[in-house]
């Protein structure tokens, strides 16, 4: 919830401003998902949105700010959905299975957003050429997953294993489930997720 004072340093934006930003972000998501990060020029994003190139420059300080906003909006949506679904789980095994199933569930309705997110994560670089989000950007996810796994180990549900390795494998299995699903028409996402849940449950249990 925002307070009156806009405490996080953001300027409050008008309704129109907000709508335009959302429209531009949405257009960027679609272009990136369809044509890839490298082809997603401002000109192309503007054309896709049916607006002038300059509008983007007017509403965003630069291409970087636009990309970062795409990430923040998209990533936030996923995190919220998954967190809500996991709130109901009690055991580590339940948490583990719920996480995989909830993410898959979210993917079905947010195909382009997640595809765009992946492109930006992989490709966006800072002015000095360093990746802005490298694999280090997954750290937050890894920590969250490790918490689940350690909880399982402490509760006696799970055997002893390296939680970091397990978290990386878990995270990458989900990422590639998404990529495979996007690329393979007719692929059964739910079945894939269920198999994955079994896989990691068996890999962890005593």
For CA atoms 68, 73, 74, 80, the dihedral sign is: positive
State the Cα–Cα distance between residues 94 and 98, nearest whole angstrom: 6
Tokens at 24, concatenated: 């531009």
Tokens at 35, concatenated: 């044509």
Window 22 to 61, contacts with a second copy (CB under 8 A)? 34-36, 38-39
Verify binding: residue 165, a second copy, rule CB under 8 A.
Answer: yes
Binds 42: which of DNA, a second copy, none (CB < 5-8 Å by kind): DNA
Binds 54: which of DNA, a second copy, none (CB < 5-8 Å by kind): DNA
State the Cα–Cα distance between residues 143 and 137, nearest whole angstrom: 11
Binds 171: which of a second copy, DNA, none (CB < 5-8 Å by kind): a second copy
Instruction: Check if the beta carbon of residue 122 is closer than 8 Å to that of residue 37.
Output: yes
CB atoms within 10 A of CB 144: 16
Q: Which single residue is written with the structure tokens 């789980």? A: 89
Verify binding: residue 91, DNA, rule CB under 7 A.
Answer: no
Q: How far is the CB of 92 from DNA (least distance, A)?
A: 44
Q: Which residues have C-beta within 8 Å of that of residue 65, sequence separation ≥ 6?
A: none
Selected from 36, 54, 109, 134, the binder of DNA by CB under 7 A is 54
Verify binding: residue 198, a second copy, rule CB under 8 A.
Answer: yes
**Nearer of residues 35 and 89 to DNA, judged by Cβ:** 35
Window 4 to 23, contacts with DNA (CB under 7 A)? 13-14, 16-17, 20
| SS3 call for 131 | strand
**Nearer of residues 71 and 103 to DNA, judged by Cβ:** 71
Interaction site with DNA (CB under 7 A)? 13-14, 16-17, 20, 39-44, 51-59, 62-64
């Amino acid at each position: 919830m925002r307070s009156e004072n806009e405490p996080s340093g953001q300027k409050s934006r008008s309704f129109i401003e907000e709508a335009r930003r959302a429209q531009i972000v949405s257009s960027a998501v679609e272009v990136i998902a369809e044509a890839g990060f490298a082809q997603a020029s401002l000109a192309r994003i503007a054309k896709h949105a049916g607006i002038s190139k300059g509008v983007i420059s007017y509403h965003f300080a630069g291409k970087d700010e636009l990309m970062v906003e795409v990430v923040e909006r998209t990533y936030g949506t996923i995190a919220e959905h998954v967190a809500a679904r996991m709130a109901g789980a009690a055991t580590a095994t339940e948490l583990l299975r719920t996480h995989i199933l909830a993410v898959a569930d979210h993917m079905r309705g947010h195909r382009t957003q997640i595809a765009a997110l992946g492109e930006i994560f992989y490709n966006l670089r800072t002015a000095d050429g360093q990746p802005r989000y490298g694999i280090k950007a997954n750290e937050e996810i890894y920590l969250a997953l490790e918490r689940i796994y350690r909880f399982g180990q402490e509760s006696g549900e799970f055997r002893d294993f390296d939680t970091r390795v397990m978290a990386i494998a878990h995270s990458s299995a989900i990422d590639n489930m998404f990529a495979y699903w996007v690329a393979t028409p007719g692929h059964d996402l739910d079945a894939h997720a269920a198999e994955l849940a079994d896989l990691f449950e068996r890999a962890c249990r005593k």
